[in-house]
Amino acid sequence: MSPPIIDRAAASTPPALARHIRGLSDRAIAWIFIAPTIVLLLAINIFPLIWTIRLSFTNFRANRTNAPVRDVGIDNYVSILTDPEVWQPMQATAHFVIWTILIQTVLGFSLAWAIDRKFRGHGFWTTVILVPMMLSPAVVGNFWRFLFQPQIGLFNYGISAVTGVPPSSFEMLGSVALAPWAIVIVDTWMWTPYVILICLAGLRSIPDYIYEAAEVDRASPWRQFWTITLPMALPFIMLAVLFRGIENFKMFDMVNLLTSGGPGSTTEVASITLKREAFEKWRTGYSSAFAIILFVTVFGLANIYVKALNRVKSR
């Protein structure tokens, strides 16, 4: 009979290596395992960040690497923060972030609540609801372009069926008034399931006996919702808001595919402006400064928010 597999594995380790490994302390072994990750993190996250900070104080242009690079101090920052045109992408971003979060949170939590109430076939519908999230943003962007087509788009026909206005009388992606809402609609379609998932986790974490106690204490369903369901699910809801907020602040792919920032610059969110400055106008130094400003903004907001979240959680 052959020896157990674990003994064979031990025996087949080269003696020199085995002795070597045995000589290492736990701490050393831990470092060996972490090292590749740290190196990778430094190489693809930390180093580019530091490099970007450095570039943001220069007039460097990535398409003219031979041109002399001049140190311009904080000029890039000054010109961004004093440029009235910069407020356009900031406003477009704020519109997009605020409305997607608001709609997705309300919708996501309500749907999660409905699913949690266990109606017939809820398992099947939970799966169906999650499908959009599994698609690639490129696919989603492209097929919503079709849905939004005034002549053949299903979306326009749907709206027309409900409201009676002719389907080709409005252009979701081509109109200055509607385009900002078109991207909100698509993002909501795609990411509400994600909010549902997180809220469901929150709702499922509330033990049944708390509701039973409330039931015996004669709390109405309304009061149960406000004094039990909502406060106890709140940390989860806030987490969903944080994830969606960070994600949408740097939204690029879907909006770029749907409208490329247009019409005009109505849907030009910050990351699209950034791409134009960096890879169309090749103002590398300037766009680096812009990226740093965005980064600091998101980082600052997220930090304030996480503090609030921790306060809610520790209650």
Partner 1 sequence: MAEIRLEGVTKRFGRTAAVEDLSLTIADGEFLVLLGPTGAGKTTALRLVAGLERPDAGRIAIGGRDVTAEPPAARDVTFVFQQYSLYPHLSVYDNLAFPLRSPTRRVPEAEIETTVRELARLLQIEDKLKNRATQLSGGQMQRVAIGRALVRRPSVYLMDEPLSSLDAKLRADLRLELKRIQVDLGATILYVTHDQIEAMTLATRIGVIDRGRLVQVGSPREIYEQPVDTYVAQRLGQPAINLLPADLLPANRLAAGTRTVGARTEHIRVTPADGQARGRVKWVEHLGDQSHLHIALDGHSLVALVDPDTALERDAAVDITLADPLCFDAAGRRIG
Residues engaged in binding partner 1 (CB under 8 A): 207, 209-210, 212-220, 223, 227-228, 231-232, 315
Exposed, middle or buried by CB within 10 Å (0-12, 13-18, 19+), for 298?
Answer: middle
Which two tokens mark 103? Answer: 């709609």
| Rounded CA separation 65/237 (Å) | 47
Q: How far is the CB of 242 from partner 1 (least distance, A)?
A: 20
Q: How far is the CB of 231 from partner 1 (least distance, A)?
A: 5
Q: Closer to partner 1 at the Cβ: 135 or 308?
A: 308
Q: Closer to partner 1 at the Cβ: 139 or 213?
A: 213
Q: Is the peptide bond before 263 cis (omega within 30 degrees of 0)?
A: yes
Q: How far is the CB of 42 from partner 1 (least distance, A)?
A: 40
> How far is residue 308 from each of residues 235, 295, 303, measured CA to CA in Å?
10, 20, 9
Q: Closer to partner 1 at the Cβ: 53 or 201?
A: 201
Question: Radius of gyration (Cα) for the chain, nearest Å?
Answer: 26
Q: How far is the CB of 122 from partner 1 (least distance, A)?
A: 22
Q: Closer to partner 1 at the Cβ: 18 or 210?
A: 210
Q: How far is the CB of 315 from partner 1 (least distance, A)?
A: 6
Question: Residue 206 contacts by C-beta under 8 Å, 6 or more apart in sequence?
Answer: 228, 229, 232, 233
Is 93 within 8 Å of 249 (Cβ atoms)? yes
| Rounded CA separation 218/254 (Å) | 49
User: Which helix (H) or strand (E) segment is 114 a member of?
Assistant: helix 87-116
Burial 198-222 (b: 16+ CB within 10 A, else e): bbbebbeeeeeeeeeebeeeebeee
Q: How far is the CB of 50 from partner 1 (least distance, A)?
A: 43
Q: Closer to partner 1 at the Cβ: 124 or 209?
A: 209
Which two tokens mark 220? Answer: 């109405």
Q: Closer to partner 1 at the Cβ: 90 or 230?
A: 230
Q: How far is the CB of 214 from partner 1 (least distance, A)?
A: 8
CA dihedral over 199, 232, 97, 150, signed as positive or negative: positive
Q: Closer to partner 1 at the Cβ: 219 or 301?
A: 219
